[in-house]
Structure 1
Amino acid sequence: MVKTVVAVWLGSALMLSATASGHELKVVQGFNNPESVLADRAGRVFVSEIGEFDQDGDGQISVIEPDGQRRVLASGMNDPKGLALIGRDLYVTDKDRILKVDGDGQWEVLVDKSAFPVSPRFLNDLEPDYEGKYLYVSDSGDIANQGGTSGAIYRVILATNKVETVISHQMDDRIKAPNGLWMDDTGEVLIFADFARGVLYKLDLLNRHLIELATGLGSSDGVAMGANRKLYVSDYVGGKVFSLNMEDEVALEHEGFQSAADIGVTPDGKILLVPDMKAGTVTWLHLH
């Protein structure tokens, strides 16, 4: 159980509170619909802020520095969501396109909607392969209609920016509204959460074999792997975070968020970062 907040640090809306386990719980406030988080090895945390939904030009990427200070890295986006980092370049899904942001915050359209095999409806999460040759991107489809028939996962070949379909509703009708993505170090296994079905899937990329790992995960959003080898899945509507151990056993890890969106982990895998869109916060949770 989290105790009362006891301090505000450096005027950056960074709040610290003690937990029953003795760890500190850190919360940063003041974001405008924070959707995705990503931490780099320098200790920075990138946050995509959608702004107002379907209002083009008011989205941005913010950075929380290691000292707690916050700044805007890039602005003028539409509805930025998923984040991926390769080298110094940050990649962002932005409604129906993928953007590339350099270290100075200058961005360009890497992949426009016309490059996709089918015009994307709701580009969501991003996941690079281990070697940085590919970007996997989820399209949650007609998410207001539980994905409809347009949900898909695509792969961008970064050498050419060519987009290929990995799996779609037309290929397997279990695919409804794919959301959070996580890839193992072999580059052969892609794990993803389906927002509409509350199911976590494992996809063997070599033979396109789809395996159901867990069900009952609510409105599954983000997926992340901790150093403890547990997979974590956020439930957007339920405001919860679930874990899945090596035996595929599901446990409720945390609840009480208004809308737990696309989670991430610190590079050491010991802290889970949870953006809460409706609350406008990012929370640090220590993993055990």
Structure 2
Amino acid sequence: MAHNLRITLTALLCVCGYTIAAQQNNVPNYLSTDLTFVWESKPILEIPESVFYDAENQCLYVSNIKGSPSNQDGNGYLSKLNLQGKIIQQKWVSGMDAPKGIAKYNNYLYVSDINDLVVIDITKQKIVKKYHGKEAKFLNDVTVDPQKGIVYVSDMMQNCIYRLKDDKFEKYLDSEQLNHVNGLFFEDDFLYAGVMNQILKIDPKSKQINTLVDDTGNIDGLIGINKNEWIISDWTGNVQRIQSGKITKLLSTADQQINAADLGYIPDQKIILVPTFHNNRIVAYQIK
């Protein structure tokens, strides 16, 4: 009887493989009741900027800048984590400068690296190609059209978006509306971009730009989780939810000077993944 009770209690303490008894260091100054802390990685990552969930391989990839975000110093690398935040291999793929955004198409990862788009073969665990952006200054977030395999990359310093199509990497869209463009997200045949104080909706064919949401603040991470529902982050440490244009704060570590960079998301578990940049951790929260 006691043995069965212990088994039952253990089962109740775990939700979808995550233990709810985990403790968090550096608890946010503000944490919405819509978020529940799940886990955090060890604080041994080296300026983690972006985290990407690989559903096929059931793991996470994290870009580590390890230095200045604009220095071509060869220090940058990708880490591989499991879905409970354990670091499987810290320097999973090296040979980059200051890697940031990550996207996946087929068996390849596409990673922005200052003025290069780096292609990584996941099976071989190695860089197989680098596309150089001739005029690129600060390539940042990356997204991909899952149907066509077209890769889009934001250049925050030039207010433009680059595109990899038919093995050509070149400037695709240059507009004053792309003010400080950072977060990118592709869904249902449209490209979405997070810029200074707005989310934009872009038609990839006509390049027509429409404003979807105003008064967002400066967007870093941008993820779509449902129809007309977004999660955004800003580098200062705020994460917000947008539902049908209404903006609600989910967490803030700004006063603690803990950043919130390019978000990741595990949709089947409703887990938001927050890279803390100089705080050197990935923190996972489950959203209601």
Tell me if 1:50 matches 2:65: yes
Find the aligned partners of 1:122 and 1:130 in 2 and give their Cα distance. 24
Correspondence 1:184-203 to 2 at 5 A: 184-185=187-188, 187=189, 189-194=190-195, 197-203=196-202
Contact 1:217 1:235 (8 Å CA) reproduced? no
Contact 1:96 1:123 (8 Å CA) reproduced? yes
Find the aligned partners of 2:228 and 2:98 in 1 and give their Cα distance. 32
In the other structure, the counterpart of 2:40 is 27
**RCO greater where, 1 or 2, for CA within 8 Å and sep 6 or more?**
2
Greater Rg by CA = 2
Question: Considering only aligned residues, what root-mean-square deviation do their CA atoms show, in Å?
Answer: 2.2
Contact 1:129 1:183 (8 Å CA) reproduced? yes
State the secondary structure of the residue aligned to 1:84. Answer: strand
Of residues 127, 136, 146, the one that matches 1:120 is: 136
Q: Deviations over 1:163-219 (max 9, x none)?
A: 343321xxx32222210101113x2x111111xx22211112233222222233333
Of residues 122, 126, 130, the one that matches 1:106 is: 126
Contact 1:110 1:161 (8 Å CA) reproduced? no
In the other structure, the counterpart of 1:88 is 107
TM-score by length of 1: 0.80
Q: CA deviation at 1:21?
A: 7.0
State the secondary structure of the residue aligned to 2:101. Answer: strand
Deviates more, 1:59-68 or 1:221-230: 221-230
In the other structure, the counterpart of 1:241 is 239
Find the aligned partners of 1:267 and 1:164 in 2 and give their Cα distance. 31
State the secondary structure of the residue aligned to 2:268. Answer: coil
Deviates more, 1:210-219 or 1:53-62: 210-219
> Mind listing any 5+ residue stretches in structure 1 that lack a counterpart?
1-14, 142-149
State the secondary structure of the residue aligned to 1:278. Answer: helix
Q: CA deviation at 1:66?
A: 3.8
In the other structure, the counterpart of 1:62 is 79
TM-score by length of 2: 0.80
Tell me if 1:167 matches 2:200: no
In the other structure, the counterpart of 1:145 is none
- Equivalenced residue count is 251
Distance verdict in 2 for CA 1:229–1:27, change over 3 Å: farther
Distance verdict in 2 for CA 1:206–1:55, change over 3 Å: closer
Identity in percent: 26
* Residue identity opposite 2:162 in structure 1: Y
* Residue identity opposite 1:232 in structure 2: I
Higher helix share: 2
Distance verdict in 2 for CA 1:22–1:136, change over 3 Å: closer
In the other structure, the counterpart of 2:224 is 225
In the other structure, the counterpart of 1:214 is 213
